[in-house]
Amino acid sequence: MEIRATEIMVAAGARELKDRETVVVGIGLPQVACFLAMSTHAPNLTPLLEIGVANMQPKDTPVGLADSRIFYRATCWSGFLDVMGMNLHRGVVDTGFLGALEVDRYGNINTTLSKEEGRVRYFNGSAGGNDVASLAKRVIVVMRHEKRKLPAAVAHLTSPGFVSGKSRAELSLRGNGPHRIITDKCVFGFDQTTRSAVLLSLHQDVSLEEVLANTGFPLEVRETPAITPLPTAEELRLLREDIDPKGVYLG
Amino acid sequence: MASVPEGAHIALGGFAIARNVIAVAHELIRQNKRNLTVSQGVAGLDTDLLVGAGLVKRLIIGGGSLDRFGPVHCINRARETNSLAFEDWTSLSICFRYLAGALGLSFIPIKSLIASEVLERLQQGGAANEVTGMKCPFSGEDYIAMTALTPDISFVHVQASDAEGNCRIDGPRWENEEQAKAARRLIVIAEEIVPTETIQREPERTIIPAHRVGAVIHQPYGAHPTAVFGRYDYDAAHLKLYVEYAKRADRIGDYIREYIRSTKDHADYLEKIGGAAQLRKLKADPALGY
């Protein structure tokens, strides 16, 4: 079986997580990446779910954050006030790991609405997204790479990154802001001075031209970008046999 | 439900497709309680039904979803057509506002919302008097101050309660405790009524004590088709069927007529969706909880 783009994405996401970190994860690819990290180099990572869960070990694939499958074998069940209040708001969450409808060059996230041909369509809104993006020490976003999903400015600024290129201190936000955007074509980081997205690595068989043509914001490319490391044979086995055997999220 | 006045602010305890107060939403629809203000952390099927039935005039939510079954179509459509007043907050800000209500504080500061369009829209819209910037009087740090949320009535679906209203909530409980204790009146819907001796054996499991509870309704499968951890799973087939109706403005009325208005009560609704045979299939494995 060929390596799927989603597998490259979650392996790249997993490598960003360090052992002993506390991570608030969203459903879907963030959660898959987090479990991959825990099965490899980060066995002592603490995953939290905004609904009030710590250290879940699901054995069946959940359909969402409200599915009892996701909080199987957890070590703590509490609520928003604990996970998002006394952890995120308290400032002890190292990484917030999110999905997005749109992300712009400053890492601002939209999960609220789309504007196409003048028509506004609403989606899920913030839920915990704004809280995670505002308060986690750093934020990683995983999303599909499409020009309209990576615009110059998001159609609705649901969750703040480096708004208007400002530092987080200037914005008076506690968390340090966006750290990575991981797509199915490449990995973006952020320039410390301009606070704008920069290309860090291209996935296997993806050209720079392809990324430039499919990115809606102006992209800084300083040197030949690296190639995103492929998932190892062991990572692929874990993903395909243990973490998402039915391909609910990776398929 | 007859005690719910038209135009009341009600807070619902569901999250997406878990522990929704479906029996309550259905009965409010049967009794046609109009002009409701509804607040909720993350809206699920319960609120989507009330909006779909045209009973909601103002919505105060942090987000909304039916997980992988789809978005909250009725709510999103109402926003697109501007047919109700809408306040779009975040999960934590709604929880903090309930917490302020529960603590008897008139406002609470938060470090979310800052620099976002969520805040901008709240300030420009109907929530202009509920949210503002402020500085800590001691350190000078910037905060967003929000008014307390004090619903007229909160509804929470729980796994077990005794007849007095001492409630257990198993599994994660999102903003339920704050939402319950912020309300002027609390109505609990329990899957099971247990003897008070059961509560007394493990009182640390009581999340809401009886003296805060106005009424207890015993309604098994009262959250169907959403899930109740440890009791039953969500009904995937029925949720898919609901979404087929809900995604079309001209079909949601058919669902409401067929499954709600033409059933006389929740027992009748449960018969309609397949009765005991269907409910048996959803029963949770005690070792798994789903």
What sign does the dihedral B105-B36-B60-A70 (CA atoms) show?
positive
Q: Which residue matches tokens 């109009």?
A: B34
pLDDT along chain A (251 residues), means of 10: 95 98 94 96 98 94 90 97 98 97 97 91 96 98 97 97 98 97 97 95 96 94 90 97 92 88
Query: Residue A77 and residue B173: Cβ atoms within 8 Å?
Result: yes
Query: Residue A123 and residue B69: Cβ atoms within 8 Å?
Result: no
CB atoms within 10 A of CB B81: 9
Residue A250 lies in a domain: no
Model confidence at B272, in pLDDT bands (50, 70, 90)?
very high
ipTM above 0.90, yes or no: yes
pLDDT at A152: 94
Q: Indicate whether B61 pLDDT > 80.
A: yes
Asked if B117 contacts A158 with a C-beta cutoff of 8 angstroms, the reply is: yes
Asked if A202 contacts A185 with a C-beta cutoff of 8 angstroms, the reply is: yes
pLDDT at B125: 87
Residue of B nearest to A58 (CA): B288
Q: Which residues of A touch B117 (CB under 8 A)?
A: 112, 156-158
| Pairwise CA distance, residues B114 & B236, whole Å | 38
- Does any CB of chain A come closer than 8 Å to the CB of residue B144? no
Tell me which residue range forms the domain holding A137: 5-243
Asked if B98 contacts B183 with a C-beta cutoff of 8 angstroms, the reply is: no
Residue of B nearest to A108 (CA): B116
Residue A201 lies in a domain: yes
The CATH code of the domain that includes A140 is 3.40.1080.10
Cα A128 versus chain centre, distance = 13
Q: Which residues of A touch B93 (CB under 8 A)?
A: 131
Q: Which amino acid is at B178?
A: E
pLDDT at B47: 98
pLDDT at A66: 87
Residue A248 lies in a domain: no
B2 CA: distance to closest CA in chain A (Å): 30
Cβ-based neighbours of A71, under 8 Å, separated by 6 or more: A49, A51, A53, A56, A58, A77, B171, B172, B229
Q: Indicate whether B189 pLDDT > 90.
A: yes
What's the pLDDT tens digit per position in B236-264?
A: 999 999 999 999 999 999 999 999 999 99
- Does any CB of chain B come closer than 8 Å to the CB of residue A82? no
Asked if B164 contacts B196 with a C-beta cutoff of 8 angstroms, the reply is: yes
Q: Which residues of A touch B16 (CB under 8 A)?
A: 64-66
Query: Residue B172 and residue A77: Cβ atoms within 8 Å?
Result: yes
Parse chain B into domains and list their residue ranges. 107-147
pLDDT at B1: 84
- Does any CB of chain A come closer than 8 Å to the CB of residue B79? yes
- List the alpha helices (DSSP H) in chain B: 22-30, 45-52, 73-80, 91-103, 117-124, 176-182, 196-201, 236-246, 252-255, 266-272, 275-282
Residue of B nearest to A48 (CA): B172
What's the pLDDT tens digit per position in B99-109?
A: 999 999 999 99
- Does any CB of chain B come closer than 8 Å to the CB of residue A177? no
Q: Which residues of A touch B68 (CB under 8 A)?
A: 63-64
Query: Residue B113 and residue A130: Cβ atoms within 8 Å?
Result: yes
Question: For residue A46, how many C-alpha atoms fall within 13 Å in the half-sphere facing its CB?
Answer: 15
- Does any CB of chain B come closer than 8 Å to the CB of residue A172? yes
pLDDT at A223: 80
pLDDT at B226: 98
A66 CA: distance to closest CA in chain B (Å): 5
Nearest alpha carbon to residue B91 among A26, A33, A201: A26
What sign does the dihedral A225-A230-A231-A232 (CA atoms) show?
negative
Cβ-based neighbours of B214, under 8 Å, separated by 6 or more: B185, B186, B187
| Pairwise CA distance, residues A225 & A229, whole Å | 12
pLDDT at A142: 97
pLDDT at A27: 85
pLDDT at A127: 97
pTM (2 d.p.)? 0.97
- Does any CB of chain A come closer than 8 Å to the CB of residue B247? no
Query: Would you state the torsion angle of the CA atoms of residues A85, A88, A89, A91, taken in this order, to the nearest 10 degrees?
Result: 140
Averaged confidence pLDDT in chain B: 97
Q: Which residues of A touch B284 (CB under 8 A)?
A: 68
Tell me the two tokens of residue A47: 């995953």
- Does any CB of chain A come closer than 8 Å to the CB of residue B80? yes
Interface test with B, best of A80, A114, A164 (most B CBs within 10 A): A80
pLDDT at B178: 98
The tally of domains found in chain A comes to 1
Query: Residue B174 and residue A126: Cβ atoms within 8 Å?
Result: no
Query: Would you state the torsion angle of the CA atoms of residues A217, A221, A226, A232, taken in this order, to the nearest 10 degrees?
Result: -10
A50 CA: distance to closest CA in chain B (Å): 8
